[in-house]
Structure 1
Amino acid sequence: MSNEKTLKNLMDAFSGESQANRKYLAFAKKAEAEGKKNAAKLFRAAADAETLHALKEFEIAGKINSTAENLKDGKLGETYEYESMYPGFIKEAEEEGQKDAIRIFTYAMKAEQVHAGLYQDALDNIDQEEEVFYYLCPICGNIEKSVPEKCGICGVPGSKFIKY
């Protein structure tokens, strides 16, 4: 008996749950901005629940491999985004005069290129025991291995970066 339909359903569910997580986080942020603390908490709890669902579905689908394979997969995904996906999105946004979309797509494209490099670096140094810290720009998604003076993509001050 084939599990083709179940695998497709697991991946569709993973996609839907992942999108729901982000949507609910966006709703929580808006509720907080409006001073609606209880709604914000509910949206955050629901977002975490959707993440639990998505992670289990992804696991059951057999999509989690060794760390080395996962790093290669991450690099491939990021490379596709910065080489193929975002350039097309930017072109279409330019044709439609959508300046906000052009800006966010450009930020994402540049950040994805950095991410791909970081995945390769992590793969090249997979057995390194010295702890590495990463710093995330909260505006464009750029990740650095040290706090910059300012973000090389969007220019936000390095003091705003989030440490991981």
Structure 2
Amino acid sequence: MSKTMENLMAAFAGESQANRKYLAFAKQAEKEGHHQVARLFRAAADAETIHAHGHLRNAGKIGTTAENLKAAIEGETYEFEKMYPVMIEEAEAEGEKVAARYFGFANKAEEVHANLYKKMLAALESPEEVDYYNCSVCGYTHEGPFDGDKCPICGAASKAFYKVD
């Protein structure tokens, strides 16, 4: 891999992390009543997304929709089969119960995501029109309105679910 490609992927990772961090900061600012600060964090987060997308595009990492679905399946599968199990084990070994529990939530949600991507890839030319709902606690994604009492992954109440636009 060339140095430029390494730099593009490092820049993509950094900009992506900055986006997520700034959105988390914006949520906290809103909770504290600092609406203008939250607005600034969201604006900067959006700019970081522009940068991240540019780096990913320049690295040639955005393919056709079918290629992108296959890449997403590969990434989600890696996370739930290899990455999170090790993280869970290490957190448990260090007595970090909260981190281990949340890694477990994410692990289960990633498997659901991989399966949703597989389903979509199989139906790419004529997908079923469906809305998606996420659990705001663990990231579980549900097809259609969530009609259960509790999230099947983390046990959060149904009010934790929101429709993804």
Query: RMSD of the TM alignment (CA)?
Result: 1.4
1:10-159 equivalences under 5 Å are 10-146=8-144, 147-149=146-148, 150-159=150-159
**Alpha-carbon offset, residue 130 of structure 1:** 3.8
**Alpha-carbon offset, residue 132 of structure 1:** 2.1
Distance 1:31 1:129 in 2: 39
Distance 2:128 2:120 in 1: 12
Secondary structure at 2:63 match in 1: coil
Distance 2:13 2:121 in 1: 26
Secondary structure at 1:136 match in 2: strand
Deviations along 1:116-146, one digit per CA (max 9) or x if unpaired, are: 1001000011011542221111110000112
Secondary structure at 2:95 match in 1: coil
Q: Please, what TM-score do these two structures have when normalized by structure 2?
A: 0.93
Deviations along 1:140-164, one digit per CA (max 9) or x if unpaired, are: 0000112131211012233432223
**Alpha-carbon offset, residue 92 of structure 1:** 0.7
Deviations along 1:61-105, one digit per CA (max 9) or x if unpaired, are: 110001111111101100110011001001111011111101110
Distance 1:141 1:34 in 2: 24
| Residue-pair matches, total | 162
Distance 1:114 1:39 in 2: 35
Q: Amino acid of the residue matched to residue 148 of structure 1?
A: D
Distance 1:126 1:38 in 2: 42
Aligned sequence identity (%): 57
**Alpha-carbon offset, residue 55 of structure 1:** 0.6
Q: Please, what TM-score do these two structures have when normalized by structure 1?
A: 0.93
